[in-house]
């Protein structure tokens, strides 16, 4: 009888595991972060916080606007450093510490990475229509938490644009705890990045977002971001992102 019960348990467990599909996990994930329709209605996000450096914590601001405008600015000793910006056509940077106050267009090998980062909408929303593929890869442990693993292949079949990202979602909350990826463009191209997400909060209107993002390479943190405030659908002008010809 004991062996029979064990066998039945294994059969039920096996069926339950198979019953988890990529589509059902994605659906639950989108539901738990506020719902796909609310995210589709979102047009801008203004995120402020701090980023630690060897010289101390610096204040930063991240601006995002649908469909693909993006900017990060950091206050460094009273001067504005813009590591990355994209106005939908031009990817650029501004670094006053080089002695040149004028913005510069980013090198071609960095542009693709910025363009990918600038994509405003969550890649899991309508992923099939976007040409992405999502597969369920089973379960895995992330720091003691059982997670569902989803493999997201963006732009499936487009060799130059294809990118694979492995998401590990808490099996209870369906919120991503870790994303593993190896960028094919940008300064981190070719290196496996482990991006950890935590401190999920309601950023407004029931939309759930992580307030802490820690990117690690080979177990070492290379960029830790902590948001202190997130404003959704704030009034953000297109001009903010536009590549300025000169500063002075």
Domains of the chain plus CATH, in order, are 21-240 (2.50.20.10)
Measured distance CA(75)–CA(82) in Å, rounded: 9
> Mean pLDDT of successive 10-residue segments in the chain (248 residues)?
47 46 96 97 96 84 97 90 95 90 90 91 96 96 97 90 94 98 68 93 97 93 93 95 76
| pLDDT for position 182 | 82
Task: Report whether the peptide linkage leading into residue 55 is cis, meaning its omega lies within 30 degrees of zero.
Answer: no
Burial (CB count within 10 angstroms: exposed 0-12, middle 13-18, buried 19+), residue 164: middle
Q: Which residues partner with 139 through β-bridges? A: 148
**Residue that is written with structure tokens 């910006």 in the block:** 85
| pLDDT for position 189 | 63
On whether the CB atoms of residues 20 and 148 are closer than 8 A, the answer is: yes
Predicted TM-score of the model (pTM): 0.86
| pLDDT for position 184 | 66
Q: How is residue 143 written in tokens?
A: 């720091």
């Amino acid at each position: 009888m004991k062996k029979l019960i064990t066998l039945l348990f294994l059969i039920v467990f096996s069926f339950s595991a198979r019953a988890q599909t990529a589509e059902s996990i994605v659906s639950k994930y989108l539901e738990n972060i506020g719902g796909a329709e609310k995210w589709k209605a979102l047009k801008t996000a203004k995120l402020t916080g701090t980023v630690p450096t060897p010289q101390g914590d610096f204040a930063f601001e991240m601006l995002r606007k649908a469909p693909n405008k993006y900017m990060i600015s950091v206050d460094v000793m009273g001067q504005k450093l813009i590591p990355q910006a994209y106005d939908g056509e031009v990817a650029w940077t501004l670094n006053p510490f080089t002695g040149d106050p004028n913005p510069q267009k980013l090198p071609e090998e960095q542009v693709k990475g910025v363009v990918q980062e600038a994509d405003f909408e969550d890649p899991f929303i309508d992923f099939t229509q976007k040409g992405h593929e999502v597969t369920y890869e089973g379960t895995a442990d992330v720091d003691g938490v059982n997670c569902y693993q989803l493999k997201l292949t963006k732009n499936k079949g487009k060799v130059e644009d294809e990118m694979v990202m492995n998401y590990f979602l808490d099996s209870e909350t369906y919120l991503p705890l870790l994303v593993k990826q190896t960028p094919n463009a940008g300064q981190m191209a070719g290196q496996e990045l482990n991006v950890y997400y935590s401190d999920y909060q309601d950023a407004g209107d029931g939309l759930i977002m992580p307030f802490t993002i820690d990117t690690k390479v080979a177990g070492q943190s290379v960029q830790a971001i902590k948001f202190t405030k997130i404003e959704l659908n704030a009034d953000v002008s297109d001009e903010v992102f536009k590549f300025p010809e000169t500063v002075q």
